[in-house]
Amino acid sequence: MAEKIYIFDFGSQYTQLIARRVRELNVYCEIHPYNHLPIIDQDVKGIILSGSPHSVFDKEAPSIELDSIRGELPVLGICYGAQLTAHEAGGKVLPSEIREYGRANLSFINDTNPLLRHITANSQVWMSHGDTIRELPPEFKKIASTESVEIAAFQVEEEQTYGIQFHPEVTHSEEGLTVLKNFLVDICGCEQDWTPAHYVDSTVAELKEKLGNDKVVMGLSGGVDSSVAAVLLHKAIGKNLYCIFVDNGLLRKYEFEEVLHSYQDMGLNVKGVDAKDRFYEALKGIKDPEAKRKAIGKTFIEVFDDEAHQISDVKWLGQGTIYPDVIESVSVKGPSATIKSHHNVGGLPDFMKLKVVEPLNTLFKDEVRRVGKEMDVKQEILGRHPFPGPGLGIRILGDITSEKVRILQDVDYIFIKGLKDHKLYDDVWQAGAMLLPVQSVGVMGDERTYEQVVSLRAVTSLDGMTADWVHLPYKFLAEISNKIINQVKGVNRVVYDISSKPPATIEWE
């Protein structure tokens, strides 16, 4: 990887957003926690200092050796990053009289300053801060103000060090992207050549170099991440990539066959393993959600391990880990950073003793999709909803049997196909059906029935952390409910889940 920007993270909720904006401008960047800073090599073209929930006056206020970077490289402090830069140089930072939160307008702009070139008078910006910079050190000069914040932006004279009190990464800062572009292109001199095509070329070259003639084994799930990671690895090492796709008996209807075919069409060296009975056996009689998850996870590892052992001399384990799983999060509670042990994300144990290769571990989800598109991965794979690893196992409440799986697969198939046929699928982030452990009375023809209830669930979300239920059209819900009750034996009642997350979760177990 050539030129890059480092973002030093002081724990702001917006840090990842800064990274995404920088990358939208086709500049590669990495987030590093302030207390685990990397070595700065020649490829680093500039540094961005993030915001923070802390005040510079806090006893445990996060801080870094600014002297070692100021003047050496362009620096842009955002919010706390700006306050810290001013404070450490002898400026006066004070608590704001009121916490400034929301939209503001730049009433003064020095538009000859390189950071603010092309920013228009009264440009709207987004503020979110408790402290404010009241006085700048002598060598700092003010370059923008709002009505209530006199020092909304500054530059250190004779130095490529800048600070801004507003958040250019938030879309409410209408020209925020221009500010970032000015910094990246005009000030840091970045080429903006980090594109999906570039990513594919450079990653494939790196993988070739790293893996040589080694063999890699990888489990595929049908999901976006593992599929795109496999295609990248395949481009680099061809048949030396051994993919394993396990049918755990908890997949969607037809999923195993269809996905396996897609993989074969893409030229992947993939083996489909029918392990349904092994999973059902392991799950027999287990009702507790966490115990089910554990049983499914353990069985997957056993099946995968058995298969991997049939390939001689495997050296590497391929994984579809993506950037949000790897970013080391800054603890806002104390000086020690919490480091995620991301190599366990895929859930595979150390005893496999394989080295891990994760070709997507620097990408955000939307970037994974773009890279996949660049390599002609099918839209059916790139656009598919997330699906949990334990599959229908956590959508069948209570114990699992093959008959219950059959019922839920049929219900789910009607619902998902309906969403696709009515062009609603892409408006929904995730959808599925839950088989409830209750029976209710119904009537069919002249007969009284006593059968199961299913609940349909469709949500919108950004990342699954919060979610809203989707207001699906009544007509659509009526059609799907009719179809399910008429076509799926064993179900006589359909309900629609109208709970948001929080306080509910997306899955019922």
- Stretch of 98-106, 170-178, 234-242, 387-395 contacting ligand XMP, by CB under 6 A: 387-395
Nearer to ligand XMP, 88 or 507 (CB): 507
- Identity of the residue numbered 200: V
Report, in Å, the least distance between residue 391 CB and ligand XMP.
9
For the chain, helix (H) and strand (E) counts, in that order, are 13, 18
- Stretch of 37-45, 92-100, 324-332, 383-391 contacting ligand XMP, by CB under 6 A: 383-391
Which of 100, 169, 358, 509 does the annotation list as catalytic?
169
Report, in Å, the least distance between residue 9 CB and ligand XMP.
24
Nearer to ligand XMP, 46 or 346 (CB): 346
Report, in Å, the least distance between residue 415 CB and ligand XMP.
15
Tell me the C-alpha distance between 181 and 192, whole Å. Answer: 10
Q: Over 434-487, what HEC string results?
A: EEEEEEEEEEECCEEEEEEEEEEEEEECCCCCCEEECCCCHHHHHHHHHHHHHH
Q: What are the Cα distances from residue 214, in Å, to 233, 236, 314, 316?
A: 12, 11, 7, 8
Report, in Å, the least distance between residue 65 CB and ligand XMP.
39
Nearer to ligand XMP, 25 or 424 (CB): 424
Tell me the C-alpha distance between 160 and 153, whole Å. Answer: 13
CB atoms within 10 A of CB 475: 9
Helix or strand run (H / E) with residue 99:
strand 92-109
Beta bridge partners of 434: 455
| Interface with ligand XMP, residue 390, by CB under 6 A | yes
Beta strands in 110-139 (DSSP E): 124-135
- Stretch of 178-186, 258-266, 324-332, 381-389 contacting ligand XMP, by CB under 6 A: 381-389
Which of 167, 175, 255, 358 does the annotation list as catalytic?
167
Beta strands in 282-397 (DSSP E): 314-318, 355-357
| Interface with ligand XMP, residue 396, by CB under 6 A | no
Tell me the C-alpha distance between 131 and 5, whole Å. Answer: 27
Q: Is 79 a catalytic residue?
A: yes
Please list every residue from 140 through 169 that binds ligand XMP, using CB under 6 A. Answer: none
Nearer to ligand XMP, 6 or 429 (CB): 429
Which of 3, 29, 54, 79 does the annotation list as catalytic?
79
- Stretch of 233-241, 309-317, 368-376, 385-393 contacting ligand XMP, by CB under 6 A: 385-393
Contact string 293-332 vs ligand XMP (x = CB under 6 A): x---------------------------------------
Tell me the C-alpha distance between 210 and 315, whole Å. Answer: 12
Q: Is 29 a catalytic residue?
A: no
Residue with tokens 């027999």: 284
In terms of phi and psi (left: phi > 0; alpha: psi -120 to 50; beta: otherwise), the region of 367 is: alpha
Contact string 483-502 vs ligand XMP (x = CB under 6 A): ------------------x-
Contact 157, 114 (CB under 8 A): no
Q: What number of chain residues touch ligand XMP (CB under 6 A)?
A: 11
Contact string 429-448 vs ligand XMP (x = CB under 6 A): -x------------------
Nearer to ligand XMP, 406 or 501 (CB): 501
Q: Show the tokens assigned to 227.
A: 């599929």
Contact 49, 8 (CB under 8 A): yes
Among 386, 398, 442, 490, binds ligand XMP (CB under 6 A): 386
- Peptide bond before 53: cis, by omega within 30 degrees of 0? no
| Interface with ligand XMP, residue 464, by CB under 6 A | yes
Report, in Å, the least distance between residue 222 CB and ligand XMP.
12
Contact string 259-298 vs ligand XMP (x = CB under 6 A): ----------------------------------x-----
Q: What are the Cα distances from residue 247, in Å, to 256, 391, 462?
A: 6, 11, 28
Contact 153, 180 (CB under 8 A): no
Q: Is 243 a catalytic residue?
A: no
Helix or strand run (H / E) with residue 273:
strand 270-274
Return the active site residues. Answer: 79, 167, 169
Interacting residues with ligand XMP (CB under 6 A): 293, 386, 388-390, 430, 464, 501, 505-507
